[in-house]
Amino acid sequence: MLPEFELLMPRTLPEALEMLAQRAPDVMPIAGGTNVIPDLRGGRYRPACLVNVAGLPELQGVRREDGVLVIGAGVTIAEVLEDPLVAQVAPVLREAARMLASPLVRNRATVAGNLANASPAADMAPPLLVLDAEVELASVEATRRVPLKDFFVHVRRTVRQPHELITAIRVPLPPETSRARFFKVALRKADAIAVVNGAVWVEMEDGVGSREYGVRSREYGVGSKEYGEGRCRAARIALGAVAPTPIRAYEAERALEGRTLTPEVIAEAARLAAEATRTIDDIRGSAAYRRVVTEVMVQRMLAEVGRME
Ligand SMILES: Cc1cc2nc3c(=O)[nH]c(=O)nc-3n(C[C@H](O)[C@H](O)[C@H](O)COP(=O)(O)OP(=O)(O)OC[C@H]3O[C@@H](n4cnc5c(N)ncnc54)[C@H](O)[C@@H]3O)c2cc1C
């Protein structure tokens, strides 16, 4: 059963921020409610007051702004999936959105809610981490931006203060020579929380490297094209459901930078990515399984970005 709470319905962002300031700390924003409602029913928390931020006009829409893709905090996962700008400049977000929950949930769930909820398995976290996103937080006093890599503190804990609202997620437009992929391993293909999820992103040096490094990808069973057609200038790898928060695998990233993505380089980076995890046993999978899956999936995803045009 739902506990009792007061529900406030602001019509504008300033109104919402005022309500949060007055009621903090015993207040929570609610957007799609796809985490909040089950959690209230399950007794995870009992705030005296909810502020409904769904539909606030200032939080809507996806736009391009001075080299940044700005995703309003009210944007739903379904909207990410359908947005032409996202598809054009950050298709990895679309890949993740497609694998999050079901159409029913995606119609309500927001990207900001997914991040603020801070589940270690949040599907939008790894792609936004590899895209080096920032979270924009507003309060009645100020607005600040926090790199997503510094946003998560622990399971279901972030640096957001109770009187602050996420207003947008800001993604620097990735360079044209960059490529990214998202992966999710779960117990079902749809409507299932990740056993492991993650994303890889590489920026390639144009025209550097050559096919002399090329190794038939048949060895990996992922097609017939060749790897090693350029050197990796920068790399980011993010993993979910393998630590108390979504994480970056920094050592693995360093093992790729300045290198040609040969199978050996990729294998070493995948090994280091698995080493960065702090997996646990739970109902979805054992710690040992999660480590193995992490290594295999990172290896596969890097092989894919290594052979993308
Ligand atoms: C059946 C089902 C399946 C699911 N499957 C998946 C899945 O496959 N992958 C996955 O990652 N998640 C999944 N989820 C979880 C959930 O749908 C997502 O995390 C979703 O993105 C949460 O968004 P929301 O808008 O519903 O957040 P809400 O439930 O409204 O809020 C979640 C948290 O975010 C806070 N919040 C919301 N908006 C803001 C804001 N603007 N500023 C600050 N804080 C805010 C709330 O206070 C709360 O702490 C599933 C949920 C259900 C019920």
What CATH number is given to the structural domain containing 243?
Answer: 3.30.390.50
* Residue 229 confidence (pLDDT): 58
Are 144 and 194 in a shared domain? no
* Torsional sign, CA 8, 14, 18, 24: positive
Number of domains, the chain? 3
Q: How far apart are CA 206 and CA 46, in angstroms?
A: 54
Atom of ligand 1 nearest to the CA of 74: 41
Q: Domain containing 48 — which CATH number? A: 3.30.43.10
pLDDT one-digit tens code per residue, 26-54 = 999 999 999 999 999 999 999 999 999 99
Atom of ligand 1 nearest to the CA of 124: 11
Which residue among 12, 80, 117, 166 is best mutated to probe the pocket of ligand 1, counting the most ligand atoms within 8 A of its Cβ? Answer: 117
Are 136 and 204 in a shared domain? no
Rg value, the chain, Cα: 20
pLDDT one-digit tens code per residue, 149-161 = 999 999 999 999 9
Q: How far apart are CA 154 and CA 7, in angstroms?
A: 27
Q: Domain containing 161 — which CATH number? A: 3.30.465.10
In a domain, 163, yes or no: yes
Are 215 and 98 in a shared domain? no
Are 45 and 97 in a shared domain? no
Q: Could you tell me if 231 and 258 are in contact, meaning their C-beta atoms sit under 8 angstroms apart?
A: yes
Residue owning the nearest CA to atom 36 of ligand 1: 113
In a domain, 1, yes or no: no
Are 71 and 45 in a shared domain? no
Where is 152: in which H helix or E strand? strand 152-154
Q: How far is the CA of 108 from the centre of ligand 1 (A)?
A: 9
Residue-range definition of the domain harbouring residue 28: 6-52
Are 244 and 290 in a shared domain? yes
In a domain, 96, yes or no: yes
Are 184 and 303 in a shared domain? yes
Q: How far is the CA of 38 from the centre of ligand 1 (A)?
A: 10
In a domain, 201, yes or no: yes
* Residue 192 confidence (pLDDT): 92
* Residue 189 confidence (pLDDT): 83
Please provide the size of the chain in residues: 309
Residue 25, preceding bond cis, omega within 30 degrees? Answer: yes
Burial classification of residue 12, based on how many CB atoms lie within 10 Å of its CB (0-12 exposed, 13-18 middle, 19 or more buried): exposed
Residue 181, number of CB atoms within 10 A of its CB: 22
Q: How far apart are CA 234 and CA 19, in angstroms?
A: 43
Which residue among 53, 105, 167 is best mutated to probe the pocket of ligand 1, counting the most ligand atoms within 8 A of its Cβ? Answer: 105
* Residue 215 confidence (pLDDT): 42
| DSSP label of 45 | -
Which residues' Cβ are closer than 6 Å to ligand 1? 28-36, 38, 53, 73, 100-101, 105, 108-110, 112-114, 116-117, 122-123, 160, 165-166, 191, 193
Q: How far is the CA of 42 from the centre of ligand 1 (A)?
A: 15
> How far is Cα of residue 226 from the mean position of the Cα atoms in its chain?
29
- Composition of the chain by helix, strand, coil, percent to 5: 35, 25, 40
Residue owning the nearest CA to atom 28 of ligand 1: 33
Q: How far apart are CA 291 and CA 185, in angstroms?
A: 12
In a domain, 63, yes or no: yes
Q: What proportion of the chain, given as a percentage, has pLDDT over 90?
A: 86
Q: How far is the CA of 191 from the centre of ligand 1 (A)?
A: 14
Are 240 and 285 in a shared domain? yes
Confidence of residue 283 (pLDDT cuts 50, 70, 90): confident
Residue owning the nearest CA to atom 14 of ligand 1: 101
In a domain, 86, yes or no: yes
* Residue 217 confidence (pLDDT): 41
Atom of ligand 1 nearest to the CA of 110: 25
Domain boundary among 123, 139, 172: 172
User: Backbone phi, then psi, for 216, in 5-degree steps?
Assistant: -55, 125
Domain boundary among 172, 207, 224: 172
In a domain, 160, yes or no: yes
Judged against a pLDDT cut of 80, whether residue 228 lies above it is answered with: no
Q: How far apart are CA 224 and CA 55, in angstroms?
A: 47
As a whole number, the mean pLDDT across the chain is: 92
In a domain, 36, yes or no: yes
Are 201 and 124 in a shared domain? no
Confidence of residue 145 (pLDDT cuts 50, 70, 90): very high
Q: How far is the CA of 110 from the centre of ligand 1 (A)?
A: 6
Opening angle at CA 215, ends 292 and 200, nearest 5: 45
Are 68 and 162 in a shared domain? yes
Q: How far is the CA of 100 from the centre of ligand 1 (A)?
A: 11
Q: How far is the CA of 28 from the centre of ligand 1 (A)?
A: 13
Helix (H, G, I), strand (E, B), or coil: what is residue 220? Answer: helix
Query: What mean pLDDT do residues 131-158 have?
Result: 98
Atom of ligand 1 nearest to the CA of 30: 30
Opening angle at CA 33, ends 117 and 143, nearest 5: 55
Are 131 and 157 in a shared domain? yes
Q: How far apart are CA 30 and CA 32, in angstroms?
A: 7
Domain boundary among 172, 204, 235: 172
Which residue among 5, 35, 99, 166 is best mutated to probe the pocket of ligand 1, counting the most ligand atoms within 8 A of its Cβ? Answer: 35
Are 99 and 189 in a shared domain? no
